[in-house]
Chains A and B, each alone.
Chain A
Amino acid sequence: MSKGLIAAIVALIVLALVPVGAPSTVVFFTLCLAKSLAVLGILVLIRADQVSFGHAMYFAIGAYTAAYITAEFRNIDIMLVILAAAISSLIAGLLVGLFVTRYRGIFFGMINLAFSMVLYSGLEKAFHITGGSDGLRIRRPTLMGMEFKRAEFDLVIFYVTLAMVALCFWLVWRYLRSPLGQALGALKTNETRLEYLGLSARRVLLTGYVISAVLCGLGGVLLGTVQGLATPEHAFWSRSAELVFIAVLGGPGHVAGALSGTVIFEAVRTFAAAVLDDSWQLILGITLIVIILWAPGGLVELWKRVFLRKGKTGEEVQK
Chain B
Amino acid sequence: MDIILLALLDGIAYAALLFLVAVGLTLIFGVLGILNIAHGSLYAIGAYVTATIGTWLVANGYNPWLTFPALIVSAILVGVILGGLIERLLLSRIYTKEPILQLLITFAVFMILENLQRMIWGVQPYFLDTPLTLLGNVSLAGVNYTLYQVAFLPLAAIAVLVFLRYFLRHTTMGAQILAVTEDREAASSIGINATWVYFVTFVIGASFAALGGALATPTTSLVTGMGANMIVLSFAVAATAGLGQIEGAAVSALMIGIARSFAVYLAPEIEVVMPYLIMVLVLLVRPNGLFGKETVRKI
Interfacial residues, chain A to chain B (CB-CB below 8 A): 46, 49-51, 53, 99, 102-103, 105-107, 109-111, 113-115, 117-118, 121-122, 125, 190-193, 237-238, 241, 244, 248, 278-282, 284-286, 288-289, 292-293, 296
Is A285 touching B115 in the complex (CB atoms < 8 A)?
yes
B contact residues around A248 at 8 Å (CB): 104
A193–B108 alpha-carbon span in the complex (Å) = 33
Give the tally of cross-chain contacts (CB within 8 A): 109
A contact residues around B111 at 8 Å (CB): 238, 241, 281-282, 284-285, 288
Is B105 touching A282 in the complex (CB atoms < 8 A)?
no
Distance in angstroms from A231 CB to nearest chain B CB is 15
Is A53 touching B280 in the complex (CB atoms < 8 A)?
no
Is B115 touching A282 in the complex (CB atoms < 8 A)?
yes
A289–B276 alpha-carbon span in the complex (Å) = 30
Is A282 touching B103 in the complex (CB atoms < 8 A)?
no
A118-B99 CB under 8 A given contacts A53-B107, A281-B111, A288-B104: no
Stretch in B44-52, B155-163, B201-209, B228-236 touching the partner: B228-236
Is A244 touching B107 in the complex (CB atoms < 8 A)?
yes
Is A241 touching B107 in the complex (CB atoms < 8 A)?
yes
| Chain A residue at minimal CB-CB distance from B110 | A285
Is B104 touching A106 in the complex (CB atoms < 8 A)?
no
A110-B35 CB under 8 A given contacts A53-B107, A118-B273, A288-B111: yes
Name the one of A51, A111, A122, A241 contacting B100, with C-beta atoms under 8 angstroms: A51
A114-B105 CB under 8 A given contacts A241-B111, A289-B90: no
Interfacial residues, chain B to chain A (CB-CB below 8 A): 29, 35, 37, 90, 93-94, 98-101, 103-105, 107-112, 114-116, 118-119, 228-229, 232, 235-236, 239, 243, 269, 272-273, 276, 279-280, 283-284, 287, 297-299
B contact residues around A244 at 8 Å (CB): 104, 107
B contact residues around A191 at 8 Å (CB): 297
* 14 additional A-B residue pairs with CB within 8 Å, beyond A117-B229, A190-B299, A284-B111: A125-B269, A238-B111, A241-B107, A241-B111, A248-B104, A278-B119, A279-B115, A281-B115, A282-B116, A285-B110, A286-B112, A288-B108, A292-B101, A292-B105
B contact residues around A53 at 8 Å (CB): 37, 107
Distance in angstroms from B106 CB to nearest chain A CB is 10
Distance in angstroms from A6 CB to nearest chain B CB is 33
A293-B299 CB under 8 A given contacts A110-B239, A113-B232: no
A102-B101 CB under 8 A given contacts A244-B107, A285-B108: no
Is B276 touching A115 in the complex (CB atoms < 8 A)?
yes
A190–B299 alpha-carbon span in the complex (Å) = 7
A46–B104 alpha-carbon span in the complex (Å) = 12
Is B112 touching A282 in the complex (CB atoms < 8 A)?
yes
A114–B94 alpha-carbon span in the complex (Å) = 25
A114–B297 alpha-carbon span in the complex (Å) = 25
B contact residues around A115 at 8 Å (CB): 276
A280-B105 CB under 8 A given contacts A49-B100, A99-B280, A110-B235: no
Distance in angstroms from A204 CB to nearest chain B CB is 15
A63–B298 alpha-carbon span in the complex (Å) = 41
A49–B97 alpha-carbon span in the complex (Å) = 13
Is A289 touching B105 in the complex (CB atoms < 8 A)?
yes
A46–B280 alpha-carbon span in the complex (Å) = 24
Distance in angstroms from A122 CB to nearest chain B CB is 8
Is B103 touching A125 in the complex (CB atoms < 8 A)?
no
Is B232 touching A114 in the complex (CB atoms < 8 A)?
yes
